[in-house]
Amino acid sequence: QSVVTQASSASGNPGQTVTISCLGTSSNIGTTNFVYWYQQFPGAAPKLLLYRNSLRPSGVPDRFSGSKSGTSASLVISGLRSDDEADYYCAVWDDRLNAVVFGGGTRLTV
Amino acid sequence: QVQLQESGPGLVKPSETLSLTCSVSGSSITASYFTWIRQPAGKGLEWIGRIFDGNIDYNPSLQSRVTMSLDTTENRFSLRLMSVTAADTAVYYCARDSPLGEGNFQHWGPGTLVTVSS
C-alpha cells in the first residue's frame, strides 16, 4: 500500500486531455516538498517528466504540465498521442518517513 | 553526459546477501545524492535509500537489512541487502538525485534484474 495513491489506470483518445492525480498526506505532498513525475515504458528505466511540481526538463513537450494543491498533485497530458502510452509515477519526499515515496503508478492507455 | 550502470549477480539464494554496484561517469559521486530504487515485475517503484557525502537514509521498511556505501576512488556506490527472500526479486535501478535529495532523479541506470531463488 503506497503512502501516495494513484489510480491504477487512465485512458483517453488521441488528441484528448487526461489528468493523472496523486493523493498524498500532510507529511509529503501537503508540505512544501516538491512533486516529481516519471514516465516509464515497458522494459525501460523511468524518465523524469516533470520536476518541482510543474517544470519540464529539456526535451519534454509542453503537452505535459503539472500542478500541486493541498495534499494532491496532478499531471495533465494534452493532445494525447499513442506514444504517450506508458506508466506514470509521482514521487515526493516524506518528512515523517524520511524517505522518497512513489505513487503506485498509473497505466495510461491511448 | 551523466551515465550510470548497475552490476552484480543476477541470481541470489534465499537468506543470502544481494550486492550491487553502480558505476557513475560524467558526475562525481561526491557531488549529489545517489539512490537505489527497485521494481518487482509488474509492480511499482520502491525507493531503497540514498547516500551523499556521508549522509545516508534508508527506506524504513528495509532499514534493518540494507547498507549503502560510496567508493570515491572508483566513482561508484554500492548496495547490500541482507537476508533476501523471493519478495526481493526485482529490477534494481541506481539513479542520481539532486544535492537536495528530494526525488529529482534525472539520471538512471538501465536497471539490473535480481532474482532470489535457490
pLDDT digits (tens, 9 = 90+) for A36-69: 999 999 999 999 999 999 999 999 999 999 999 9
Mean pLDDT across the stretch B45-70? 96
C-alpha cell at A14: 488521441
Mean pLDDT across the stretch B47-69? 95
H or E segment to which residue B96 belongs: strand B90-96
pLDDT digits (tens, 9 = 90+) for B59-117: 999 999 999 999 999 999 999 999 999 999 999 999 999 998 899 999 999 999 999 99
* Residue in A100, A102, A106, A107 to test binding to B, most B beta-carbons within 10 Å: A100
Q: Is B51 exposed, middle or buried (0-12, 13-18, 19+ CB in 10 A)?
A: buried
In this predicted structure, what is the pLDDT of residue B101? 86
Give CA–CA dist A52/A67, Å, rounded: 9
pLDDT bracket for residue B53 (50, 70, 90) = confident
Report yes or no: B109 at the A interface, CB cutoff 8 Å.
Answer: yes
Query: Do B83 and B116 meet the contact criterion of CB atoms below 8 Å apart?
Result: no
Query: Do B76 and B21 meet the contact criterion of CB atoms below 8 Å apart?
Result: yes
The alpha carbon of residue B37 is apart from the nearest alpha carbon of chain A, in Å, by 10
Asked if pLDDT for residue A1 goes beyond 80, the answer is: no
Report yes or no: B3 at the A interface, CB cutoff 8 Å.
Answer: no
- The residue behind cell 524504513 is B60
Residues of A in contact with B104 (CB under 8 A): 34, 36, 48, 51-52
Query: Do B95 and B38 meet the contact criterion of CB atoms below 8 Å apart?
Result: no
Name every residue whose Cβ is closer than 8 Å to that of residue B38 and which is 6 or more positions away in sequence. Answer: B45, B46, B48, B88, B90, B91, B92, B93
Report yes or no: B108 at the A interface, CB cutoff 8 Å.
Answer: yes
Question: What is Dmax (Cα atoms) for chain A?
Answer: 40
The alpha carbon of residue A102 is apart from the nearest alpha carbon of chain B, in Å, by 6
Q: How much is the CA Rg of chain B, to the nearest whole Å?
A: 13
pLDDT over 90 percentage in chain B: 95
Residues of B in contact with A45 (CB under 8 A): 93, 108-111
Name every residue whose Cβ is closer than 8 Å to that of residue A71 and which is 6 or more positions away in sequence. Answer: A23, A24, A25, A26, A28, A29, A30
Of A44, A57, A93, the CB nearest to B103: A93
pLDDT digits (tens, 9 = 90+) for A19-39: 999 999 999 999 999 999 999
Q: Is B114 exposed, middle or buried (0-12, 13-18, 19+ CB in 10 A)?
A: buried
Mean pLDDT across the stretch A71-99? 97
User: Comparing C-alpha atoms, which of A17, A18, A20 is closest to residue A7?
Assistant: A20
How many A/B residue pairs have CB atoms within 8 Å? 64
Residues of A in contact with B46 (CB under 8 A): 102
In this predicted structure, what is the pLDDT of residue B54? 78
Asked if pLDDT for residue B57 goes beyond 70, the answer is: yes
